[in-house]
Amino acid sequence: MRSRKKFKSENPIGTALIESLDQEGRGVAHVDGKAIFIRGALPNETVTYQSTRIKSSYEFAETKSVLKASNLRVTPKCPHFGMCGGCALQHLDFSAQVAAKQRLLENDLHHIGKVKPESLLPPIYGPAWGYRHKARLRVKYVAKKDRVLVGFNEKSTPFVADMNSCAVLPPRISALITPLQEMIVQMSIRDAIPQIELAVGEHAVVLVFRVMETPDAKDEALFKAFADVFDVQVWTQTKGLDTVQPFYPLDGAKLSYSLPEFDLTYPFNPTEFTQVNPHINQVMLRRAMQLLSPQAGEKIADFFCGLGNFTLPIARSGATVLGMEGLEVLVKRARESAALNGLAEQVEFAEADLFDMTPELLQDLGHFDKWLIDPPRDGAMALVSALPNDASFGPERMVYVSCNPATLARDAGILVNEKGYRMVAAGVINMFPHTSHVESIALFER
């Protein structure tokens, strides 16, 4: 029997046959009836592993060596893979990543929601590298070495990874990591900058520096020189999100993204939520509109609408749309985008806490022909639960875009098993290649 001591450095080496992948991209094995979740291992591989966390019913572990490799194992492109926590699946063939996410979605629908879609949609995927147009980078000044680290966290630790490039960031942004390190180490506030939030628009790149102390004249000069040399905008944030503001240049181009297929342009601020993968966003919008099939004269609700990413394409069909969102700043931005795109007469936006929806509040909104739901990871349980069980009130068709297959499965179970809907189709959207994140889309009809 293997020792169950919890001293990580003394945990023994075990051998396991990997059965599947879990939601975090770890290999799943069973040893002596106990589940072992092994980072770096792939299905059908035989590996040696060392546990890093031991509990009575499961263990987390790291792969020590691969004794028999999967034919889907590939060489990671990024030299920092395995140390940086930004990616979990670079060692798995790209197409196999998408297939694994599809299986995860199907398993969650079956085991959590007790539902099965009538058909599976073709997966949506796009460029494998350089796709991430929004990110939050950690910053750490290491006094003993008099150097600054800029990057993502190491895997499974709170420490900043020692990296000088990132393959999932656009190449231009990846190339800024070393210059950022070299600039910040020269600053008086080098140990008072915990993070940089980056946002890439079609006509601008913004770096938001979280500054815990006031920059001095030298710091300000360094910021300005960096912005000029690398053609970026430097913004600062001293406290909450309401303190985010441009520092230099003050007259830079505005962040925006467009949806040419729908003749739409969306301005946004760097800390406002937008999809990180603009290519996939366009394909996802096309799929959502095909499934929803909005028609002129229809009344459609877009719940968790954000800044109107789905709302305005729906309105382009001639339908009348109500967009509901819990964050006031996004509601304001959505109204601005509707006016900018000439759709203010067809769209109404309202602020509402959709996690506190009740049957009475839903009835007060009135009847809608169709719904689009795009909730955060917590899902839309209160919203779908507010529908009556007899299907006397509710949309004929519903498109649900999800960033968490577990909560989609839970809500699908409510819609199908309690509310009188069919799950017509479902499929995955590979919004975050090389990570374990699963985005998906589903169609329900009454």
pLDDT tens-digit series, residues 226-259 = 999 999 999 999 999 999 999 999 999 999 999 9
pLDDT beyond 80 at 7: no
- Helical residues (DSSP H) of 195-346, grouped into ranges: 217-230, 278-292, 311-316, 328-340
Q: Note the pLDDT of residue 2.
A: 38
Describe the strand order of the beta sheet including 27-31 as a list of residue ranges: 13-17, 46-54, 58-68, 34-39, 27-31, 20-21
**166 marked among binding-site residues:** yes
pLDDT at 155: 87
Model confidence band, residue 342 (pLDDT cutoffs 50, 70, 90) = very high
Q: What is the pLDDT of residue 156?
A: 81
Environment class of residue 186 by beta-carbon count within 10 Å: exposed (0-12), middle (13-18) or buried (19+)?
A: exposed
Q: Which residues does residue 65 pair with via DSSP β-bridges, in sequence order?
A: 48
Report whether pLDDT(5) > 60: no
Q: Return the pLDDT at 6.
A: 43
Distances in Å between the Cα of 199 and the Cα atoms of 139, 235, 251 are 16, 11, 17
The answer to whether 282 is a known ligand-binding residue is no
The residue assigned the tokens 């991430």 is: 132
Looking at the chain, the whole-number percentage of residues with pLDDT higher than 90 is: 95
Which domains, and CATH codes, for the chain? 8-73 (2.40.50.140), 99-127+277-445 (3.40.50.150), 134-200+205-248 (2.40.50.1070)
Flag whether pLDDT at 264 surpasses 80.
yes
Q: In what helix (H) or strand (E) does residue 205 lie, and over which residues does it extend?
A: strand 205-210
pLDDT of 442 > 70? The answer is: yes
Q: Which segment of 4-8, 71-75, 292-296 scores lowest on mean pLDDT?
A: 4-8
The pLDDT value recorded for residue 11 is: 85
Strands (DSSP E) contained in 240-360 are: 245-248, 256-259, 264-267, 299-303, 320-325, 347-351
Residue type, 97: Q
Residue 208's alpha-carbon distances to 12, 138, 198, 230, 319, in angstroms, are: 45, 12, 6, 15, 38
| R_g (Cα) of the chain, nearest Å | 24
| β-strand pairing of 439-445 with 397-402 | antiparallel
pLDDT digits (tens, 9 = 90+) for 97-129: 999 999 999 999 999 999 999 999 999 999 999
Report whether 353 belongs to an annotated binding site: yes
84 is in an annotated binding site: yes
Residue whose pair of structure tokens reads 């060489």 in the numeric block: 75
pLDDT at 48: 97
The mean per-residue pLDDT over the stretch 288-300 comes to 98
Q: What span, in angstroms and rounded, lies between the C-alpha atoms of 170 and 347? A: 34
pTM for the whole structure: 0.93
- The type of residue at 407 is T
* Residue 242 CB partners (closer than 8 Å, separation 6+): none
pLDDT at 4 over 70: no
Residue 76, pLDDT score: 96
Average pLDDT rounded to a whole number, residues 207-216:
97
CA dist., res. 65 & res. 50, Å (int): 10
Task: Report whether 359 contacts 388 (CB < 8 A).
Answer: yes
Q: Which has more pLDDT, 174 or 7? A: 174
Question: Has 305 been annotated as catalytic?
Answer: no
Taking only the tens place, the pLDDT of each residue in 78-90 is 999 999 999 999 9
First-residue to last-residue Cα distance in the chain: 55
CB 35 within 8 A of CB 67: no
Q: Which pLDDT tens digit goes with each residue over 378-407?
A: 999 999 999 999 877 899 999 999 999 999
The Cα–Cα gap between 434 and 93 comes to 9
pLDDT class of 1 with cuts at 50, 70, 90: very low
What does the alpha-carbon distance between residue 64 and residue 47 come to, in Å, rounded to a whole number? 7
305 marked as binding residue = no
Residue percentage of the chain with pLDDT more than 70: 98
Residue 308: left if φ>0, alpha if ψ -120 to 50, beta else—which one?
A: left
Q: Which of 169, 315, 334, 403 does the annotation list as catalytic?
A: 403
Mean pLDDT of the region 281-285? 97
Statement: residue 308 has pLDDT above 60: yes
Residue 349 CA, chain-centre distance (Å), reads 24
CA quadruple 244, 249, 253, 257: dihedral sign: negative
* pLDDT at residue number 242: 92
